[in-house]
Amino acid sequence: MKLAVEFPSVAHREGADGVVRMARAIEQIGYDHIDMFDHVVMGFPIDGRPPGPYNPAMPILEALMTLAHIAAVTTRVTLGTEVLVLPQRQPTLVAKQVSTLDTLSGGRVRLGVGVGWQESEYEALGEDFHTRGARMDEAIRMLRAYWTDPRIDFDGKHYHVTAMAMEPKPPQGRIPIWVGGNSEAALRRVGQLGDGWLASRITDAADARRAIDTIRRHAEQAGRDPDAIGLQSMVAPPPRDAEGKRFYAEPDLVVARVAAIKAMGFEWATLNATAIFQSGARSVAAMTDTLATLHTKIRAEVS
């Protein structure tokens, strides 16, 4: 079982050094991977725009910039996004940014992508919310062309590239692209295009089985090996009530949930360090102490 940590942007409250200390501690404790959450802006609720799941004043560091900072102060832990809202970004620029991150980190990058949910964020970035699914499919294919082809020619409905080059190529060549989301469209996208699935709101074994079977069916229909598609799940979704905020303060509950995730067929589990902060660990030191305790207990119980 591989263990990932969704990095807490709240670490920035202790300055840039707080981010460095947090990243180094995650690596030194023994976690396998660090993921960054992504939102560029958050909308306040107004007429015609209902409240979202997060406080719009929640601090969120830009994902790729933060990963570059983390890459410079770590050596082993792999780095990714969970998830980058790909269709609200210009995909040629994303290809270059992620390729450069892979080069400078020594080939440690895995890109997690999703379509997002916040229409006002798309509007602020000048992108079309309503075509995000179709553009996501094209963008994934275009990223891979940029990372592997010496000359890039791409003629899609939404994106067009003619006789362009992007160098240097990333050390990994084909950087893994994992897809987030629980909708039918997202599961289809995982099966057809993804190197893995980033699950976030699995309720029980039956829910996991349905989703995984859907992914496998789409992979087989696309002529792909479904066993080659990785599976990662959040240990718990972001807390939205008092009970959710207590979850990470109870190590036995966390360990039991990781064991259940493994039994469902997932090879990766992600601990949400922001939720650990919300559970009462209100400093970088407290968050890393909790992560160390959880890592020890999970490794003891779940191989």
The per-residue pLDDT for range 49-71, each reduced to its tens digit, is 999 998 999 999 999 999 999 99
Sorted by where each starts, the structural domains of the chain and their CATH numbers stand as 2-24+33-228 (3.20.20.30)
Distance CA(217)–CA(219), nearest Å, equals 5
Cα 296 to Cα 29: distance, rounded to the nearest angstrom: 9
Query: CA 227, CA 289: separation in Å to the nearest integer?
Result: 36
Instruction: Report the share of the chain in percent with pLDDT over 90.
Output: 94
pLDDT at 240 over 90: no
Q: What is the mean pLDDT of residues 161-167?
A: 98
* Predicted pLDDT of residue 244: 86
- The verdict on pTM exceeding 0.75 is yes
Q: What is the pLDDT of residue 237?
A: 76
Q: How would you class 16 by CB atoms within 10 Å of its CB: exposed for 0-12, middle for 13-18, buried for 19 or more?
A: exposed
Query: Within the chain, what is the greatest distance between any pair of CA atoms?
Result: 56
Per residue in 121-159, pLDDT (tens digit) is 999 999 999 999 999 999 999 999 999 999 999 999 999
Residue among 240, 153, 230, 239 at smallest CA distance from 198: 230
Average pLDDT value for residue range 248-277: 97
